[in-house]
Amino acid sequence: MSMSDKLSSRKNIKKSPGKTSFFHRLDVRFPWLKLAAVCLLGFIAIIDLLDLTVSKLSDPYDKIRIAPMSYHVRVTKRVLEGKMLVALTFDDGPSSATTPKLLDILYTEDVPATFFMLGNMARNNPDIVRRAESEGHVVASHTMYHQNLIRISTAAVRSDINEASTVFKDILGHLPTLTRPPYGNFNSTIGSIIGTPLILWSVDTLDWKNKSTDAIMETTLSQVHDGAIILMHDIHPTTVETVPTLISALRGLGYEFVTVPELVEIRGKKLTSGAAYYNFRP
């Protein structure tokens, strides 16, 4: 073979795809590596899947989230029938500074509540809104901007309500089914515009005014009754700090805690859109 033929032969060998590559030599010498690699990748995928499943199962909030509110209502109706009941309600939030701490307390105490949230506050804190609902609380509307509805035009009322409804639907995927008009002020026209039952209160803690645990406790305990709707505001740190003491005191008096929809269901009531409700006594 001539020198030119040898050089041509060497060039052809170099151009042959894969024959002298590292991966080709590895595949020839250790053919079982492909199978080992596939098995390893499969094992990693299974571990990731198990880890994801365990994480979901161990989520501390899942003990409430696994039961939709409709199921929760049916269960509590059987358990709480004939007992003294109160509904804790919180207005004007959610606040990034105080509402998460309140949710931590309610979770620890296993107490459901009803939050009448402002649309503008909800829009700024969507994760807190979702957390409240996912933990078994009821998220309701307190309008968009906390305006005194009887002092603004009908068109302004409608605009405020519609804007708030849009905010809650965007965050939660559904419209609020209950509304609390700011200051408790409304009339029949406003009720028809709002289009949901209006939930007022029978126990005013005056926590916005008397910002101390002792004052809030004294005011609340002097008014509390079976079927009471208790008004508080989760934007005040003193209110949040008082909640554990209040829960303990009310439990000591024999009260059980429910959301407003639970209270309605357990007491066998039917709500009408535009109508106002202050309590649900037996």
| Residues labelled catalytic | 91, 233
| The two structure tokens encoding residue 264 | 């309605």
Buried b / exposed e along 37-49 (16+ C-beta atoms within 10 A): eeeeeeeeeeeee
In angstroms, the Cα distances linking 145 to 37, 74, 120, 159, 200 are 60, 34, 6, 11, 18
Q: Whose structure tokens read 């939050």?
A: 115
**Burial tier of 262 (Cβ tally within 10 Å: 0-12, 13-18, 19+):** buried
Task: Give Cα 110 distance to the centre of its chain.
Answer: 15
Strand partners, 89: 114, 231
Are 239 and 232 a contacting pair, CB within 8 Å? yes
Any idea of the CA torsion for 58, 63, 67, 73, to the nearest 10 degrees? Answer: 180
